[in-house]
Amino acid sequence: MSQYRVLIDADDKKGLVHKVSTVFYKSDMNILSNSEFVDKEKNKFFMRSVVEGDITLDRLHQLISDVMPKSANIEVIAPQNKNIIIMATKEMHALGDILIRNEAGELEANILCVISNYNNLESLVSKFNIPFVCISHVGLSRDEHENRIVEYLSKFEEVDYIVLAKYMRILTPKFVEAHENRIINIHHSFLPAFIGANPYKQAYERGVKIIGATSHFVNNNLDEGPIISQDVIHVDHAYGWQDMQRLGKDVEKVVLSRALKLALEDRIFVNANKTVIFQG
């Protein structure tokens, strides 16, 4: 018996559920969970099923392809650890949270390496026997710096996700396009409020009573990619912006780790500039 995650995204039309469920039924498969969503505005159908049965991945993919429209995107995935790269700058909380979860076996991930433009995280990362590489940006143009990162990354055959765990530099459009919907960022505000630099200071100056964090896929518009997860905490007038920053770290790390987990478990569809996420 093998277990598969089946992800389908297609233009909506009558009978899609019928056709897929017929494949499962005729192949004598168990449906462990099944979620569907139709975006009526865009006329798009999304389905994620977890199924098990005595069938190969290729055969199951073929059977589903046979009944789906040509334009449908069909993924059949056998659960296994995904390869991830973490990029960070100086802060420990988001990176540390991922490292501890990985150590505890909570993540379906192999962390290939941690890349930083500073040295100070090396001591933390090396505790976990994960390669750490410092690629400093000092004295380099944005392109030169990024080229060094790209060069370093080229040694890895397959990278499923790049996780920006408080990586404080902006990536070039070229880099972003090369990893479309594969770069997960944590922004330290409740987007779309406080886009850009030092959002806690912006929040403090605006006098908000709630602060938040947002994990999202990165696209070419700063802080405007599809949102994966958000959460917030209440603050009041007694919090200075450094207090907000300190408190906000707890939200940031939980939100980023949650988004990463959703991605590793193949629960996220990107639907134009939004996400469809099946938690069930």
Selected from 3, 37, 148, 201, the binder of a copy of itself by CB under 8 A is 37
DSSP E strands, the chain: 2-11, 30-39, 44-53, 73-77, 82-88, 109-116, 132-134, 161-164, 183-187, 210-217, 227-234, 268-271, 274-277
244-273 binders of a copy of itself (CB under 8 A): 246, 250, 254, 257-258, 271, 273
Residue span binding a copy of itself (CB under 8 A) among the ranges 29-37, 75-83, 133-141, 151-159 = 29-37
> Which residues have a Cβ under 8 Å from the Cβ of 123 and sit 6 or more positions away?
none
Rounded to 5°, angle at Cα 95 from 264 and 134: 110
Determine which one of 12, 223, 231, 266 is catalytic.
223
**Residue with smaller CB distance to a copy of itself, 193 or 222:** 193
**Residue with smaller CB distance to a copy of itself, 129 or 154:** 129
> Which residues have a Cβ under 8 Å from the Cβ of 142 and sit 6 or more positions away?
169, 170, 172
Residue 164 phi, psi dihedral angles, 5° rounding: -90, 95
**Residue with smaller CB distance to a copy of itself, 175 or 204:** 204
Selected from 66, 70, 197, 206, the binder of a copy of itself by CB under 8 A is 206
Over the window 152 to 191, marking each residue x when it contacts a copy of itself by CB under 8 A and - when it does not, the resulting string is --------------------------------------xx
> What is the closest distance, in whole angstroms, from the C-beta atom of residue 13 to a copy of itself in the complex?
10
208-237 binders of a copy of itself (CB under 8 A): 208-210, 212, 226-232, 234, 236-237
> Which residues have a Cβ under 8 Å from the Cβ of 271 and sit 6 or more positions away?
9, 39, 42, 44, 46, 226
* Contact criterion met (CB below 8 Å) for 20 and 49: yes
Please identify which residue in the block is written with the tokens 């865009």: 42
> What is the closest distance, in whole angstroms, from the C-beta atom of residue 250 to a copy of itself in the complex?
6
By the rule CB under 8 A, 192 interacts with a copy of itself: yes
By the rule CB under 8 A, 242 interacts with a copy of itself: no
By the rule CB under 8 A, 280 interacts with a copy of itself: yes
Distance, in Å, from the CA atom of 186 to the CA atom of 113, rounded to the nearest integer, reads 18
**Alpha carbons within 13 A on the beta-carbon side of 19:** 15
Selected from 87, 92, 165, 186, the binder of a copy of itself by CB under 8 A is 92
Residue span binding a copy of itself (CB under 8 A) among the ranges 22-30, 78-86, 145-153, 169-177 = 22-30
Distance, in Å, from the CA atom of 73 to the CA atom of 193, rounded to the nearest integer, reads 33
- The answer to whether the Cα torsion of 201, 207, 208, 211 is positive or negative is positive
Selected from 33, 62, 221, 242, the binder of a copy of itself by CB under 8 A is 33
Q: Is 11 a catalytic site residue?
A: no
Residues tagged active-site: 223
